[in-house]
Structure 1
Amino acid sequence: MADKTKTIDKPYSELAWAMGKTGILGYGGGPSVIPLIRYEAVTKYRWMDDDEFGEILAIANALPGPIATKMAAYLGYRRKGILGSIVALLTHILPSAVAMICLLSFVEYLSNSAVVQGMIVAVMPVISVMLGVMAYEFAKRAYKGLGKIMVVVFCAVSFVLLQLVPVHPAIVIVLFLAYGAVHFRVIGRFKPKVKKVEGDA
């Protein structure tokens, strides 16, 4: 009986521990939390693979609200339904919320503190490396699925839309999601033409 209870409670404890860590260590907002959530969900606990994580990340980016809380809510719901979603959200949000309330009276002092400023400067390279590694791994998967030419084209289009136009990131994500939904149909129409040309030659 004890073993059965332990087995039943384990998913909740895993959710609480994983989301609690990402809430505490995700310094710098949503982008810095994503590699941490990916590590917990894909690498450590294997709740999903990289492809599914990338899809959920894209949808979460397109929806309003903080991305980290949306990812936590989805992971909790996927594991244990509504109750799992509540557990994941609370354990992700509460540590930083409690810390903010406790430190609220020291905000002015901390914002001008040389120690705090040094911590911010020191952690920025770490966050950059984590985001870079995750982007590289997603790029490898995109290369396998789309090919080198399409990856280069999509990167160029994304850069133009996000940096030069600029278009809101959510709109860009929705556009690429829409293309992804019909990608294989589009490719499928071109392949017979290519084969036919090669046969005629």
Structure 2
Amino acid sequence: MKKLLSMFSSFFKIGAFTFGGGYAMIPLIQAEVVENKKWIEKDEFLDILVIAQSFPGALAVNTSIFIGYKIGGAVGAILALLGTVLPSFFIILLVASFFMQFRTNYYVDLVFKGIGAAVPMLVLIAVVSLSKSVDKNYTNLLIVIITVVCITIIDIHPVLVIVASGLYGYIFFRKKVK
């Protein structure tokens, strides 16, 4: 039970102090569950992240559910979910009740501009950190290039690219089971 409460507390802290959505939360989740608490290995975290991206819903929420389930089963999944979403829920309630009267305030606007500038860097940190776990070879480089071209230039929906990449991995990277 102590581990579950610690997990809830960790996800609550991450949810309370991260702005910018799921991708901005990933480096914080990784630091907490892989490096600080050592609940899972980095390879497991990368696998969970890939699975979480494949499911509908917010990336950080899906990731927290999978990690919570790995640590504490169904109860762990629920506590991790609540830890992740409750801070945002309470902050949104608070902000919604006061936002309209302060949105035109010059200083509030500056705060939001500062937060908005930091979010892309948090996403970049997540990309760099996760890329360290990927094998550096021509096949993976080609997959990255094709993915970027498909999504940004050809405008193929990311879900289709994820499904196609998953099928490619299943067909070409699977190991023969004896």
Q: Per the shorter chain, which TM-score range?
A: 0.7 to 0.9
Q: Which structure carries more relative contact order (alpha carbon 8 Å, separation 6+)?
A: 2
TM-score (norm 2): 0.86
Instruction: State the Cα deviation string for residues 54-100 of structure 1 (Å, max 9, x = none).
Output: 22212211211112111111111111111111111112211221222
Equivalent residue for 1:180? 169
Conserved? CA contact 2:52–2:66, under 8 Å:
no
Give the drift of 1:25. Answer: 1.4
Deviates more, 1:118-127 or 1:36-45: 118-127
The aligned amino acid for 2:49 is L
The aligned amino acid for 2:98 is F
Conserved? CA contact 2:23–2:122, under 8 Å:
no
| Equivalent-residue separation in structure 1 for 2:25 and 2:6 (angstroms) | 17
Q: 38, 46, 66: which one pairs with 1:46?
A: 38
Q: 14, 24, 40: which one pairs with 1:22?
A: 14
Equivalent residue for 1:84? 76
> Does 1:170 find its partner at 2:159?
yes
Give the drift of 1:125. Answer: 4.3
Equivalent residue for 1:55? 47
Question: Structure 1 pair 110/59, CA: closer, same or farther in 2 (3 Å)?
Answer: farther
| Equivalent-residue separation in structure 1 for 2:131 and 2:154 (angstroms) | 23
Q: Aligned to 2:47, what secondary structure does the other structure show?
A: helix
Equivalent residue for 1:195? none
> Does 1:111 find its partner at 2:106?
no
The aligned amino acid for 1:107 is F
| Equivalent-residue separation in structure 2 for 1:75 and 1:140 (angstroms) | 20
Q: Aligned to 2:96, what secondary structure does the other structure show?
A: helix
Conserved? CA contact 1:58–1:173, under 8 Å:
no
Bigger radius of gyration: 1
TM-score (norm 1): 0.77
Question: Structure 1 pair 137/93, CA: closer, same or farther in 2 (3 Å)?
Answer: closer
**Gap regions ≥5 residues in structure 1:** 1-8, 189-201
| Equivalent-residue separation in structure 2 for 1:152 and 1:85 (angstroms) | 34
> Does 1:139 find its partner at 2:128?
no
> Does 1:161 find its partner at 2:150?
yes
Conserved? CA contact 1:73–1:86, under 8 Å:
yes
Give the drift of 1:181. Answer: 2.3
**Gap regions ≥5 residues in structure 2:** none
Q: CA RMSD in A?
A: 2.1
